[in-house]
Amino acid sequence: MRITTWNINSVRLRAPLAVQLLEQVQPDALCLQETKCPDEHFPHQTFIDAGYPHIAIRGMKGYNGVAIISRLPFTSTDSLDWVGKQDCRHISATFSDGIELHNFYVPAGGDEPDTMKNEKFDHKLKFLEEMRDWFTANRKPDAPMVLVGDLNIAPLEHDVWSHKQLLKVVSHTPVEVERLAAVQNGLGWIDTARHVTPETEKLYTWWSYRARDWAAADKGRRLDHVWVTPPLGDKIKDSSVLRDARGWEKPSDHAPVTTQLG
């Protein structure tokens, strides 16, 4: 099973790029975040025509939104609300082989890493706490599951262009890294990207729109992740970032991440 996650930053605006991605990568399932699209306006036919007729969506006008687009049928789908908000940040699907796929868009957290001064940062930390608690209470480590999405945290030193300079920047602060680690450790999730690429190597999935030449500056962060539970650990065959997608015409600021399970 090949799974791709991508923060598309508007599915209607970038539907042609999504089709280009599907043609190039050929995933079995594509998980999107920041679709920014109410369910009634989601471009279903575009994906059906591309050979992906199984679609689970949860969207809203202008913000957030998640989707799972698959050429494999689902046996069931679900979505959950977090921190008391109905803001379309999670959707899940179960496949006939029993694999349960969870797609998340974790809040970005604003600019100030202080819960007293910044409600968005407080929301982010509480969201991560609820993720940890929900999985610990409702799922077991021996269940075959995949967790993907824009988790909006670059946890490791070489997941950012400058560990020292970003320690006080939201997405790489110690408290965020600690909360994400608690989610990961709860069920023993395996980070597929770092299973394949050593932690000593730089690896990014996001480059800011603010950089005039993002490729030359290469000031990236690894915000997008694919995790699997231990039963799928020995099935990880590959994990890759389609960096070229960041250079497509009118691109998202995120690049797609793909994991191959064999």
Q: What is the pLDDT of residues 80-106, one digit of tens each?
A: 999 999 999 999 999 999 999 999 999
Interhelix angle 174-186/119-138, rounded to 10 degrees, is: 10
Q: Determine the average pLDDT of the residues in 57-81.
A: 97
Q: What is the mean pLDDT of the chain?
A: 98
What are the pLDDT digits (tens) for 144-194? Answer: 999 999 999 999 999 999 999 999 999 999 999 999 999 999 999 999 999
| pLDDT tens sequence across 105-124 | 999 999 999 999 999 999 99
pLDDT band at 245 (very low <50, low <70, confident <90, very high): very high
Q: How far is the C-alpha of 2 from the C-alpha of 24, rounded, in Å?
A: 13
Instruction: Tell me what pLDDT residue 24 has.
Output: 98
The pLDDT of residue 197 is: 98
User: Residue ranges per domain, the chain?
Assistant: 2-261
In the chain, the percentage of residues whose pLDDT exceeds 70 is 100
Q: What is the CATH number of domain 2-261?
A: 3.60.10.10
Angstrom CA distances, 215 to 30, 193, 243, 251, stand at 25, 21, 9, 13
Say how far apart CA 23 and CA 89 lie, in whole Å.
Answer: 26
- The amino acid that residue 101 corresponds to is L
Q: Measuring CA to CA, which residue among 56, 51, 92 is closest to residue 71?
A: 51
- Residue with the bigger pLDDT between 134 and 212: it is 134
Q: What is the greatest pairwise CA distance in the chain?
A: 48
pLDDT of residue 260: 98
Print burial letters for 146-182: b (CB count within 10 Å at least 16), e (below 16): bbbbbbbbbbbebbbbeeeebeeebbbbeebbebbee
- Return the pLDDT at 125: 98
pLDDT tier, 137 (very low <50, low <70, confident <90, very high otherwise): very high
pLDDT reported for residue 85: 97
pLDDT at residue number 84:
96
* 7-54 confidence digits (pLDDT tens): 999 999 999 999 999 999 999 999 999 999 999 999 999 999 999 999
